Structures are given as C-alpha cells and as structure tokens.
Amino acid sequence: MQQYSTLFVGLDQHKDSIAVAYAPGDRKEDVVYLGPVGTRQCDIDKFVRTLQSKAKRLLFAYEAGPCGYWLYRYLKRKALECLVVAPSLIPRKAGDRVKTDRKDAVQIARLLRSGDLSGVYVPEVQDEAIRDLCRAREGSMRDLKAAKLRLKSFLLRQDIRYSGKTTWTPAHLRWLAEVVCPTPAQQIVFQEHLRAITEHSERMARMEAELREQVKSWRLSPLVEAYQAARGVQFHVAATTAAELGDIRRFDKPRQLMAFVGLHPSEDSSGPRRRQGGIAKTGNIYARTALIEAAWSYRYPAKVSRQIQERQQALSPAIRDISWKAQVRLCKRFRKLIAHGKYPNVATTAVARELVAFLWAIAQQVQLSAEQSVN
C-alpha cells in the first residue's frame, strides 16, 4: 500500500451522513472519493483509521453549517488538524450548475490541497453557550415585538384607540385591562393576544436574568464589563458582542476587526476608477446589528450619564478615558456626516465602524491590566 506524507480530507457534513474525499499531497494525483460514512463516533473513528493507514498527517476541512462544530471538536480531541470553512468563501465556477455530496467533498479536498481555503473562528464550548443565550434573548425580543404588533393591528381594526402618548407604559397597560371588544369571540382573541405578550415578556426576563448569571463565571466577563464603559453599549450589547466575536484581542489591528464584522465598505474598482459602495455585510450579523444599535446613541451630544457612571465605577481610568474619547469623536462624527447630507442610517453605520475600533482599544487595555496584575 502506498504511504503518503499528507492527505487533505474534504468532508461534506449532513445530519445523518458525511461524504468523505481525500487528496494526496502530490498535485499530480487525483482526488479519491471514499464515500459516505455515518455520523456516529465509531463510524468516524473507522474512516479516520483507514486514512491514517495511508498517510502520517491528515488535514480535514468541512463547510460551516447547521450541524455546528461538534465534528471539529471531536477531531481536535483526537489530535487531528481540522478547518471549518465559510461556504461563501469557497471558490465556485460561475457556470457550474451541478451540486452533489460527492462533488462538494472532492472540491473541498482539492481546494484544501491547493491552499485556497481558510478556516473561520470556532468558539469555545462556553463561548458558544453564552452565544446561544444571547440569541435566545434576541429571539424572545423579536417574538415580543411581533406579539405587540399583532395586538395593535387587532385593536386598530376594531377602531379601539389609545388616547395616551406612549404605549406599553403602566398607564397603557391599565387601559388595556379595561378594553371591551364588540363581540365575545373578539374579546377572546384580544385576551389571547394580551396573554401572548405577557408570556413573551416573562420569557425575555428569564433569559435576561440567566444571561447575567452565566456571564459572571464566563472567561470573557472582564471584557463584557469593560465594553459597557462605552456609550450605548449596555449589558446585552456587550454580551452579544463578546459572545459572537469571541476575544477580539486576537486581531492585530482595528481594521481587521471592522472587516470581520462586515462594517467595512464594499469596493468595485478597476484601473483608474475606484468605486466604493455600502458596507460589505460579511461576518457575524448578530454582532453587526448590536453594534449599529449601540451607535444610535451617539446622535446626541457627548455626556456621561448616571447610567454610564455606574457602569464605569469598577473600571480603570484608562478605560474611562477611552470611553470619553469615543464619545467626543463619535458624536462629532455623526453631526458632521448629517451636516454633509448623509442619511441617518448611513451616519450611524459609519459611527458603528469606528465604535468597533474603540472597543478593540478597550479590549487591549483589559489585557494590559490583566498582565500587570499577574506580574
């Protein structure tokens, strides 16, 4: 049996099967399709042993997908090299209209051998757990908004109008308790809508409380606390940013982090012509959404409010200085963009891009403080 120095293994992962193909290190040799295998650990161990009998070194790769990172972590526990690749970054031929499991596995193995694939950031197990909590809270908030919209639409169809200025205040809730619909059937519908809002509100409160409790023992808890020094970065924004992006200190420059989040401008340039468009929208949509939400607070003049003072009490003066510098610059930046005729959404996105750089600086300061405390 021929022994290779390295085998590049492409995996096409599904719920019940994994298509396997491998490419020898010599580019003159063709890619070999091993076939589909099961997803049980014994099935994975079997095909790994088969490949280990053919080469000393194995390098695996598969597309990120709904099955998560369990396969990556299992291979890592067996001291094997593995990459998780973003599907959007896999080169594909424009005219290719045939897609099969075999073809995908062979293509991944071939591209892995040629060096055209790069792995994405894989979070640790605890980081992914906090991320799931953040996303569950976000889902509860969307459900709550949808339930409130359904109730408002129902009341509007019945021409039942609230005379107050602000909805979902204690006064508005007292008014809802006194609403009487024209028919018994409509009254049942109204009560069900109101009950759904109550259930979603309670669920969101439970998620918020559990998230705060879990973050206390999280390894990135110092970053979550430090992020909250910045204006607009409240607890859920800080926790979402840390959970979705991980430790942003792994980026050497803020521009790398901006590109990772997808807040950098897209570009279509050729020759002497240079054309930049909207943001690229690559990377993590949850972190990008949270940061843009935080950036809206900079449309007001710079000010250290009572809430910000409370969040900054336990933080170092260096982090507080970065937060104030960010306020002065970003508030001025927003007003300047608006004065130049930019739409508020465009100005807010530009502010969010610069806010990422200040969060990176805060993270670097946290690392510096940790190193000084150890020494």
> Is 334:340 a contact under the CB 8 Å cutoff?
no
Q: What is the pLDDT of residues 280-318, one digit of tens each?
A: 888 889 999 999 999 999 999 999 999 999 999 999 999
Mean pLDDT, to the nearest integer, of 111-120?
A: 92
* Cα torsion angle, 40, 42, 44, 46, sign: negative
Q: What phi, psi does 193 have (nearest 5°)?
A: -60, -45
Place of tokens 């979550």: 224
Q: What phi, psi does 174 have (nearest 5°)?
A: -65, -35
Q: Pairing relation of β-strands 81-85 and 55-63?
A: parallel
| pLDDT for the residue 269 | 83
| pLDDT for the residue 226 | 96
Tell whether the model's pLDDT for residue 277 goes beyond 60: yes
| pLDDT for the residue 352 | 96
Lowest pLDDT segment from 24-38, 66-80, 150-164: 24-38
The candidate with the shortest Cα–Cα distance to 126, out of 292, 42, 243, 289, is: 243
pTM: 0.89
pLDDT band of residue 63 (cuts 50, 70, 90) is very high
Q: What is the pLDDT of residues 213-253, one digit of tens each?
A: 999 999 999 999 999 999 999 999 999 999 999 888 889 99
CA dihedral of residues 337, 338, 341, 343 (deg, nearest 10): 100
Mean pLDDT, to the nearest integer, of 57-82?
A: 94
| pLDDT for the residue 250 | 87
Instruction: Calculate the average pLDDT of the chain.
Output: 93
Tell whether the model's pLDDT for residue 1 goes beyond 60: no
The candidate with the shortest Cα–Cα distance to 253, out of 121, 365, 364, is: 364
Tell whether the model's pLDDT for residue 20 goes beyond 90: yes
Mean pLDDT, to the nearest integer, of 194-210?
A: 96
- Nearby residues of 44 by Cβ (< 8 Å), 6 or more positions away: 18, 37, 38, 71, 74, 75
| pLDDT for the residue 282 | 84
The backbone region for 109, taken as left when phi is positive above 0, alpha when psi lies in -120 to 50, beta otherwise, is: alpha
